[in-house]
Structure 1
Amino acid sequence: MTLEATDLPVMRLSSTDAPAADLAALARATDTRFILAVFTNLAGKPCAKLVPVEAVDELQSDGVGFAGYAAGAMGQVPKDPDLVALPDPTSFTPIPFVRPGLALVHCDPHVEGKPWPYAPRVILKQVLGKAAERGLSVKVGAEIEYFLVQRDEDGTLRTADVLDTSRQPCYDARDVTRMYEHLTSISAAMNSLGWGNYANDHEDGNGQFEQNFHYADAMTTADRVVTLRYLISVLAEQRGMTATFMPKPFADRTGSGMHMHLSLWRADGAAFPDADDPRGLGLSETAYAFIAGILDHACALQGVIAPTVNSYKRTGATATSSGATWSPRHATYGGNDRTHYLRVPDGNRVELRGGDGSANPYLAAAAAVAAGLDGIDRRLDPGAPGGTPNPETLPMTLLHAMDALTADPVVTGALDAAGPGVAEYFAALKREEFFHWHNTVTAWEIDSYLTAF
């Protein structure tokens, strides 16, 4: 992740552009014929309605209605009133590379005229408001890792590129070249939108890739993560492949993370750098307190940034076919060292490496920021870089993570930032998910126990 700026042609009009508050003007300027009005549920599923440009004024003024229970994980039951998704015009994004004339806009769900507290985007807004009360703004960069796969007739999952078979495929120029059309289509899309794609590479697992874009304010980055996952999925599908952000689709390969690069800013500039840092990482006391807060709440935080049963196959892995898991097992921090939960590549930012591809980016950013702000409020000290890890620090399963989450008032407070009950609802959903998996008889059990007794 780089902190350099970029000068690229921009299709996405920003909030500083004069017509940015007018969806109709944005649609005309970009030859848009249909708009996807998008929000995510708590599980990260992108939900949308397709709105013709002829109804754009109605979309902007009245929003578009959804049966919230049908959207899943939105804190509703069938009898509840509609979720009304109100668009944020500053997030308007033309995506003609998916379909000519298509755009999307991210929305904030409301119920009966009020922001819905179970809506992830609404939650992040509230947490960022708490940072603003302290005179701080938050910038985030996100690394998007995923596998390109296909399924055989019997359902077996395999790498989409049948030639991608080497023991250490990371950065292999030949594997990248064979996926040239897919990777360059995504890169061109990001750059046409002004996101500043600066690298596309083959990651550590066979069939695994990463595509990077420049950091931005926390809300913009979260919107872009949702948009990019959608773009990668749809464009891969057009080429006969499935793009999966599942944390650990293959037991013997490295899992897919969603590393977040976090930095705080004041009106007069960045709050993290300090060239005179006696600990040698180039960080300010504010940055160290932020780090300490994240470490202090790491167990509960994992329940948000690694929110699936499969997540703990990634963080619990002890070996992979390439020789390294690249996922943290302990809540430690250090310099430019990828074995830590929090890596400090330079004095401008910290990289949170515990999250994975199943994380909802709005919730992940909200929970991480809340944990860091708590460290600042309490003036916590993380100790010396690279301290001795506690082998029991990070949760072993999703169930352990939910126990940690419900016992942590800071992380539950982040989920409840827009209204009470969200954390309890989220934890109940995740416990149900765990026991649904736990009650499924697997091939491993048949192989292990069928004739063992």
Structure 2
Amino acid sequence: MAMTRTQDLAERCAATGTTFILALFVDLRGKPCAKLVPVEAVDELASDGVGFAGYAVGAMGQEPKDPDLVAIPDVESFTPIPFVKEGLAIVHCDPHVQGRPWPFAPRNILKTLIAAAGDAGFEPWVGAEVEYFLLKRDEQGRLVTADDHDDSSQPCYDVRGLTRMYEHLTSISTAMNALGWGNYANDHEDGNGQFEQNFAYADALTTADRVTTLRYLLSVFAAERGMIATFMPKPFADRTGSGLHLHMSLTSAGAAVFPSAEDERGLGLSPTAYGFVGGILDHACALQALMAPTVNSYKRTGAVSTRSGASWAPRRPTYGGNDRTHYLRIPDDQRVELRGGDGSANPYLAIAAALGAGLDGIKRSLDPGALGSCPDHVGELPLTLLHAVEALEADPVVYGVLDAALPADWPAEALTVGKYFTGLKRDEFFDWHSQVSPWEIDSYLTAF
């Protein structure tokens, strides 16, 4: 007899000593939202989910008058986190409204794209590099590097910087390994106060869940030590920004489809892999609206250089071998590394969009051209969030990813996810644009 979702979740709680569960999901901006559910209510959580006022959640496509957003737990995502609080666990949820998956929920969108990949005969796999800064506020309230001694011009990989942050880094590493994620490296990145902690790749949905969980853990662990963990793409004008690099591959019936021994370009890739690469390059400008979704994102991609001498952020959608200046780096014949995303990216939307673009390239047998090149019609990546939004609206494939979870009977006059998301982002750009910055005061106050 098959175990029900209620039995499965209850048994997992009992086996791990869980007493409270964070029923968690993210909105379209990537904001993590949850209710804390006691284990005594696990049966109700598993069978009925837990309700939220959707408009209060944030960017979820609802108005105050709309019915409850109900978070239905995905039991397979159950993650005990006793290192945060004894007896605490997370379960990632799929938001529903009136018994149906809510199409504005990022996790539901990604699941739809994974299903589309399955229909095409593929299983998507993703690894993610989560970069972040550790900061604090000084006596004047200014944001500064948490480690007072982390001030060298080239701090990347500095063993002393790692050692000074030993307690933080090892606590996160220990947590990831306790969860079975396979943490294999922890390093000081290129900016003062910037770090990255790597974990093994997994199926696309699991990796998106893990990015969300890791951001939460990093924030909590940093706060316990009086620090601020930020995934803001570019918190300092003169330092390297924080990326969310995605390593992507496909299998078919469990067999890798990217490698090939007959690749004249010399990267060891198959026509399927080159189609995937071609699709991502073809849709790169629209992709940036989902992979670099904030005003601040374009301070990172627009940077020419930083204190260390390089920005590490691509400005043109090119591809090549083991070369970190490209939008798509091909480190080996097993995967492609998409380097356009940053720390503000919603992992569910970023992976879904990249997957949709790559699948379109495979479907159309797109050729990415010579190594180091980019499609003639693409050129530079968007200069601002507004440019990226306009590119998204002009790209039916990536724009269509946002609407992928809309049911067939969605009313024609009803708001779509694409219209809602682009409206949010356009408003965000003009909210920023309407502010008077210190730069404007310095440049114009007495200039005329």
Cα distance, 1:101 vs. partner?
A: 0.6
Measured in 1, the distance between the counterparts of 2:359 and 2:22 equals: 34
Pair 1:86–1:254, CA change in 2 (3 A): same
Structure 1 stretches of 4+ with a deviation exceeding 4 A read 16-21, 388-392
Query: Is 1:138 the counterpart of 2:133 in the alignment?
Result: no
Q: 2:89 aligns with which of 103, 115, 124?
A: 103
Pair 1:202–1:21, CA change in 2 (3 A): farther
Measured in 2, the distance between the counterparts of 1:20 and 1:347 equals: 42
- Size of the aligned set, in residue pairs, is 438
* Residue equivalent to 1:402: 389
Q: Is the 8 A contact 2:317 2:374 kept in 1?
A: no
* Residue equivalent to 1:413: 400
RMSD over equivalenced CA pairs, Å:
1.5
Pair 1:18–1:348, CA change in 2 (3 A): farther
Greater displacement, 289-298 / 16-25: 16-25
* Residue equivalent to 2:293: 307
Q: 1:197 aligns with which of 161, 165, 183?
A: 183
- Could you tell me the TM-score, scaled by structure 2's length? 0.96
* Residue equivalent to 1:85: 71
Query: Quick one: which amino acid aligns to residue 423 of structure 2?
Result: A
**Secondary structure at the counterpart of residue 22 of structure 1:** helix
Query: Is 1:441 the counterpart of 2:436 in the alignment?
Result: yes
Measured in 2, the distance between the counterparts of 1:176 and 1:127 equals: 38
- Indicate the percent of aligned positions where both proteins have the same amino acid: 72
**Secondary structure at the counterpart of residue 210 of structure 1:** strand
Measured in 2, the distance between the counterparts of 1:204 and 1:108 equals: 36
* Residue equivalent to 1:319: 305
Pair 1:54–1:369, CA change in 2 (3 A): same
* Residue equivalent to 2:104: 118
- Could you tell me the TM-score, scaled by structure 1's length? 0.95
Q: 2:221 aligns with which of 223, 229, 235?
A: 235
Query: Quick one: which amino acid aligns to residue 350 of structure 2?
Result: A
Query: Is 1:267 the counterpart of 2:253 in the alignment?
Result: yes
Query: Quick one: which amino acid aligns to residue 126 of structure 2?
Result: V
Q: 1:393 aligns with which of 380, 388, 410?
A: 380
Query: Quick one: which amino acid aligns to residue 164 of structure 1?
Result: D
Query: Is 1:40 the counterpart of 2:29 in the alignment?
Result: no
Q: Is the 8 A contact 1:33 1:53 kept in 2?
A: yes
Measured in 2, the distance between the counterparts of 1:243 and 1:20 equals: 35
Measured in 1, the distance between the counterparts of 2:327 and 2:294 equals: 18
Query: Quick one: which amino acid aligns to residue 416 of structure 1?
Result: D
Render the CA deviation track for 1:399-418: whole Å, top value 9, x for unaligned. 00000001100001111000
Q: Is the 8 A contact 1:330 1:389 kept in 2?
A: no
Query: Quick one: which amino acid aligns to residue 137 of structure 2?
Result: R
Cα distance, 1:17 vs. partner?
A: 11
Pair 1:424–1:19, CA change in 2 (3 A): closer
Q: Is the 8 A contact 2:368 2:374 kept in 1?
A: no
Cα distance, 1:387 vs. partner?
A: 2.0
Pair 1:21–1:279, CA change in 2 (3 A): farther
Render the CA deviation track for 1:244-300: whole Å, top value 9, x for unaligned. 000000000000000000001001500101122111001000000000000000000
Measured in 2, the distance between the counterparts of 1:21 and 1:318 equals: 55
Measured in 2, the distance between the counterparts of 1:393 and 1:100 equals: 50
Query: Quick one: which amino acid aligns to residue 422 of structure 1?
Result: V
Cα distance, 1:154 vs. partner?
A: 3.4
Measured in 1, the distance between the counterparts of 2:280 and 2:155 equals: 33
* Residue equivalent to 2:413: none
Query: Quick one: which amino acid aligns to residue 428 of structure 1?
Result: G
Cα distance, 1:153 vs. partner?
A: 4.2
Measured in 2, the distance between the counterparts of 1:325 and 1:60 equals: 46
Query: Quick one: which amino acid aligns to residue 413 of structure 1?
Result: G
What pairs with 1:69-84 in structure 2 (closer than 5 Å)? Answer: 69-84=55-70
Measured in 2, the distance between the counterparts of 1:407 and 1:388 equals: 19
Q: Is the 8 A contact 2:5 2:46 kept in 1?
A: no
Query: Is 1:450 the counterpart of 2:445 in the alignment?
Result: yes
What pairs with 1:340-419 in structure 2 (closer than 5 Å)? Answer: 340-387=326-373, 392-419=379-406
